[in-house]
Amino acid sequence: MSRTLLRGAQVVTMASDRPDAEPVDVLVENDRIAAVGRDLESSAAEVVDLSGRIVIPGLVNAHLHTWQTALRSVGADWTLMEYLTHLHGECVGDYTPDDMYVSNLAGALNQINCGTTTLGDWCHNSLTPEHADAAVEGLVQAGIRAAFLHGTPYRAPDIPHPLGEIDRLLEGPVRRHALLTLGMALQGPQYSAPETAVADFRAAAERGLVVSMHQSGGELAPGWEALRAAGLFSPRTNVVHGADLPDEWIKTLDEAGVTFTSTPENELGQGHGALVTGALLRLGSAPSLGTDVDTVVPGKVLTAARIALAHQRGLDHAHHRRTTGTYADAPSVTGRQALAWATVEGAKALGLADQVGRIEPGMQADLVAVDARALNLWPAHAPVATVLHADIVNIEAVMIAGRWRKRDHTLLHTGLDEVQDRLLRSGRRLLSTMRTGPSASSSAA
């Protein structure tokens, strides 16, 4: 049995019955948290002194199209329609399995570097079984915990999800790896015929899988009502974006236990519509967070949390002034809530709430040490706020399932230079297939 004792840090457990932060030890045995408390016994354990650090649960990026990593930043000035036209209309068919592999490997490693230990990999470019297997292998080689949400490029509304692929993945590539779970990235009720949406949801329910689908603005398609009538909305349903969903529909979905994932930086920048955060908070619920596409925004969940927090506070302050004529005397949303969106709520969205998102005995040992001694964070008077203010330079160590994946500010992955070189070559080739966007030479500068 391997035992690691983390000592000296301020610990943000995100457990509902514990303080925001507390000076306690965390004992890890094999892949799980064995104990949390003061002055834990350390015999036969590697003792790691984390004085001056803040230990948090591993962050959860609940929605990322990791397969786009090789095309980073090319769409930073795209609207949503330009993104759909140039990436999905011009580029997806040119992806090879190797492109999928290197983007998923590099993208997942970047997530670990940023403090993310669990990734919702929304892989809707699984052109063939070989593409899907390569994407899965990239995640495996990176060592991240992931929900591989299998999807395909956009297809006709009456074509169902390829269930043969789902069953093949369940019995093969995903089943073999303890850190992976499988879900279905569906076209969903907005982009499928009603009968197709119902069939896809039923197939997922029969297999006990999370289903996730996009919804960004526009009038709701008939598939939504068909799914409601069939009683297929459940806690294993995840709506990504949810922008401009009517309040009555958000209430209906929330009552059914449906989770929502907001990708605030991308939604605001590309014009998806009104963020779903406020509507959920009014119901006593909350979103999870994702970063969506590296082609448009950086993949840092802590940045997403800060943007979501500031945006909602701004809306609430403006509403308060309009309705009362005075400034608010208290914030409408707290930093702890925002950190919960990036941990607890993310775990819930991916069907992993019993494994990750909190530091408690029995949970998986997915932990992040934030170095609060750095000039941009010190002195760390308020640990939760300090974590939200942290950047990559402050993510000192990352543990996934009891195994260090980053130590002393350095990723523990060999061959990073080779990974980056393969990623550059992949990105240059894919860029050449687009009719717009930066040139290959400028993207390498």
pLDDT digits (tens, 9 = 90+) for 86-122: 999 999 999 999 999 999 999 999 999 999 999 999 9
Mean pLDDT calculated for residue range 232-260: 97
Domain boundary residue, one of 327, 347, 367: 347
Q: Indicate the average pLDDT of the chain.
A: 95
Q: Are residues 286 and 391 in the same domain?
A: no
Domain boundary residue, one of 315, 347, 379: 347
Q: Are residues 53 and 98 in the same domain?
A: no
| Nearest-angstrom CA–CA distance, 161 and 74 | 30
Q: Are residues 49 and 142 in the same domain?
A: no
Q: Are residues 241 and 103 in the same domain?
A: yes
Residue 196: per-residue pLDDT? 98
Provide the pairing of β-strand 53-57 with 10-11.
Answer: parallel
Q: Are residues 218 and 79 in the same domain?
A: yes
Residue 439: per-residue pLDDT? 41
Q: Are residues 192 and 212 in the same domain?
A: yes
Residue 173: pLDDT band (50, 70, 90) is confident
Residue 38 has pLDDT above 50, yes or no: yes
Q: Are residues 63 and 53 in the same domain?
A: no
Mean pLDDT calculated for residue range 263-271: 96
Instruction: Tell me if 206 sits within 8 A of 232, measured CB to CB.
Output: no
In a domain, 433, yes or no: no
In a domain, 64, yes or no: yes
Q: How far is CA 132 from CA 160, 169, 225, 322, in A?
A: 17, 9, 31, 51
Q: Are residues 259 and 383 in the same domain?
A: no
Domain boundary residue, one of 347, 371, 398: 347
In a domain, 419, yes or no: no
Q: Are residues 213 and 331 in the same domain?
A: yes
Q: How far is CA 4 from CA 12, 37, 38, 197, 400, in A?
A: 18, 14, 15, 47, 13
In a domain, 417, yes or no: no
State the CATH number of the domain containing residue 243: 3.20.20.140
Residue 445 has pLDDT above 90, yes or no: no
Residue 176: pLDDT band (50, 70, 90) is confident
Q: Are residues 42 and 79 in the same domain?
A: no
In a domain, 424, yes or no: no
Residue 266 has pLDDT above 50, yes or no: yes
In a domain, 280, yes or no: yes
State the CATH number of the domain containing residue 25: 2.30.40.10
**Which residues, 6+ apart, have CB-to-CB distance to 204 below 8 Å?**
183, 184, 186, 210, 211, 236
Query: What's the pTM value of the predicted model, to 2 decimals?
Result: 0.96
In a domain, 384, yes or no: yes
Q: Are residues 245 and 255 in the same domain?
A: yes
From 135, 198, 216, 203, select the one nearest 164 (Cα to Cα).
203
Mean pLDDT calculated for residue range 341-346: 98
Q: Please tell me the total count of domains within the chain.
A: 2
Task: List the domain range (segments joined by +) for residue 45.
Answer: 3-57+359-411
Q: Are residues 158 and 93 in the same domain?
A: yes
- Can you name the residues that pair with 239 across neighbouring β-strands? 213, 260
DSSP run (H or E) holding 57: strand 53-57
In a domain, 426, yes or no: no
From 183, 59, 106, select the one nearest 426 (Cα to Cα).
106
